[in-house]
Structure 1
Amino acid sequence: MNVDPRLLGGIGTLIAVAEAGSFARAAEVLHLTPSGVSRSIARLEARLGVRLFERNSRSNTLTEAGHRFFAEVSPLLVGISEAASHAAGDAVFVRGRLRVNCDAWFASLMLAPRLQTFLDAYPDLTLDLVVCDRLGDLVSDGFDVAIRFGEPEPSGLVTRKLLDTRIVTCAAPSYLARRGAPGHPRDLASGHECLLFRDPVTSRPFPWEFHRGGEVFGVKVSGRLLLNDVATSLSACLAGLGIAQPMALGIDAMLRDGRLVDLFPDWADERFPLHIYHPSRHLCPLIVRAFMDFVVATISAGDREPQPQ
C-alpha cells in the first residue's frame, strides 16, 4: 500500500482549520505559521482539484465540496489515531477536547449536576458544552456529538434514541393556594395564568395539548409571561408565577416531594423523544463513546437528584 504522507498531512491540516474556523487559529494548534497552513491547504486543493474553503479576512468556511470531503475523511483519521493508541497500549485513555451541542433542558437539569463525575473520570479531557436551540450542521459547526429532543430530521448523522419523556402540566403549591387547582385541562382556557414558552423555530408560544389513550385535544391558554429559557421557566413555575408544561425528565423528584404538583396525571400520554447524534459513520471516536456511555448512565440514574459531595 502506497500512502502519500503529504496527502495525510494536508487532510490533518484541513480538519484543524475546519474545527478552529481560521488559518491563524489552526496554525496555533498545529504549531505552524498561518502561511504554512495556507500552503498545505492549497496543495491539498490542487491535489483534489476542488476548492475546499471560502476564504475571507475573518474566517474560513468549508465549501460544499469541502464539507463532503471533511465528513468522509474525519472518521478515517479518528480510526488511525485510535489504532495508534491501541498499538501503543494507550487505548484506555480518553483525552482531548470534546465539543457537545446540547438541548438546554437536558444540559441544565440532567448533565450539569452530574458532570463532575465525568470530568473526574477523564482528567485529560476538556469539555466544551454549548447550549443551542437547534441541531444545525454538526460537522461544519465543529461539534463532535449532540443531544436533542424531538424527532430527528433526515441527515447523514448517526442517531440513537435514548428515551421518551412525558409532558407534565404542573404548578407550585403557592400558585394553587392563590388561584385554585383546575379540575380539567379545559379549565386552563380561562381564569389561569400559564407560563408560555417560545418555539425557537416559529418565535411563537408552543401550543398546549393533552393526550390520553387515543384522545388528543388542544387548549388555547394565555399568560403574561413568555419565556425562551428552560431554567427561568422552571424557576418561575416553582416560584408560583403560573402553570407550566415541562418535560418530566429532570423534575420527577420535584413532583415527588411536592415542590411541583402534577395537575392532570390522567392526561399525560404525550411523549417527547431524546436522541444523541454523532457524525462518524464508520468509527465512533473513543472520546465520543465515553461521553455517550456517561449520558446513558445519567439517564439510568433518572430522577435521582445528585447529592452534594
Structure 2
Amino acid sequence: AAGEAAGSAATVSGKLRVNVDPWFARMVLAPNVQAFLSRHPQLSLDLIVSNHREEMMTGVDIAVRFGPAHGSSLIVRKILETRVVTCAAPSYLERRGRPATPHELVEHETILFRDPQTGRPFAWGFGRGGDEFDVDVRGRVTTDDPSTAIEACLSGQGIFQSLALGLDRWLAAGDLIALFEDWSDELYPLYAYHPSRHLPPAKVRAFLDFVQEICGR
C-alpha cells in the first residue's frame, strides 16, 4: 500500500477528475486537451463543466474557477488575471454604429452574462487610471453559457463584455472588434483549487503546470 501511494505521488497516471468553468473549458482547455493527454499517455480526463461553486470539489481532484478566491479549507493557486474586453461583430457596428465611450452603451443592445452565484447578470465595469464605474446596460439576451454568448455576438445580436482569455482567434480575424481599449483596466482572476494535502498527486501537479503553461502562451 505504501508503495502504491508513493507511485501515485510520482507517476502521472489514472483518471483525473476536473470541475472546470465553462468559459475556460470551451475557450482554453478543450483546444489543448489532445496536447495534454499526448504528454501523459497513462492518464485519462473526466471533465465536469459548471459555473457553480457550491460543491465544486465533490468527487473531483481539482477545480478551476474565475472570480475571487473561495474555499478556506482548500489549497488555492492563482493561474492568471485576464482583462475584460467589450466587443461586437462588424455587422452590429455597421447597423447600429460604434459607441465612442462606455457611457453610450445605454443606447445599444447588449448580450448579458448571468452570474451563477446571484442569478443576475454581471455588471459592466470599466476602469482607466484609477477611474472606475459601471454602466447600466440593457439587453434582450441573457445566458450563462459562453458559447451561446459568443455565437450571438458573432451573429450581430449585440455588444458583449467578455474575458479576453480565449478571444484571440476572433479578434485577430476581425470577426469581433474590441471597443474602449483605453478603458480596459479591469482584471478578472482565474484560480485552481484542490484538497488540502501535503503533496498533491502527480496528475494534479501535471494539470496545474500544463494550465499555467497554456495560459502563459
TM beyond 0.5: yes
Aligned to 2:208: 292
Note the alpha carbon deviations across 1:196-250, whole angstroms, 9 max, x for none: 1111122111111111111111111111111110111011111111000000001
Which residue type is aligned with residue 21 of structure 2? D
C-alpha separation in 1, matches of 2:23 and 2:109: 22
The 1:241–1:138 alpha-carbon spacing in structure 2 relative to 1, beyond 3 Å, is closer
C-alpha separation in 1, matches of 2:89 and 2:199: 47
SS in 2 for 1:169: strand
2:126 aligned with 1:204: no
Note the alpha carbon deviations across 1:36-85, whole angstroms, 9 max, x for none: xxxxxxxxxxxxxxxxxxxxxxxxxxxxxxxxxxxxxxxxx8xx634246
Which residue type is aligned with residue 43 of structure 2? L
Aligned to 2:43: 125
Structure 1 runs (4+) greater than 4 angstroms displaced: none
Computed over aligned residues only, the root mean square deviation of the Cα atoms, in angstroms, reads: 1.8
The answer for unaligned runs of 5 or more in structure 1 is 1-7, 9-76, 302-309
Aligned to 1:249: 165
2:30 aligned with 1:112: yes
Deviation at 1:125, TM superposition (A): 1.5
2:69 aligned with 1:144: no
Which residue type is aligned with residue 33 of structure 2? L
SS in 1 for 2:82: strand
Q: Is the 8 A contact 1:168 1:247 kept in 2?
A: yes
Aligned to 1:70: none
2:6 aligned with 1:83: yes
Query: 2:155 is matched with which residue: 239, 243, 247?
Result: 239
- TM-score relative to the length of structure 1: 0.67
SS in 2 for 1:165: strand
What is the aligned length?
A: 217
Deviation at 1:281, TM superposition (A): 2.2
C-alpha separation in 2, matches of 1:204 and 1:138: 20
Greater percentage in helix: 1
SS in 2 for 1:199: coil
Q: Is the 8 A contact 1:101 1:135 kept in 2?
A: no
Deviation at 1:124, TM superposition (A): 2.1
C-alpha separation in 2, matches of 1:117 and 1:136: 30
C-alpha separation in 1, matches of 2:7 and 2:95: 65
Percent of matched pairs sharing the same residue: 52
Aligned to 2:14: 96
Greater percentage in strand: 2
The answer for unaligned runs of 5 or more in structure 2 is none
Larger RCO (CA within 8 A; separation ≥ 6): 2
Which residue type is aligned with residue 95 of structure 1? S
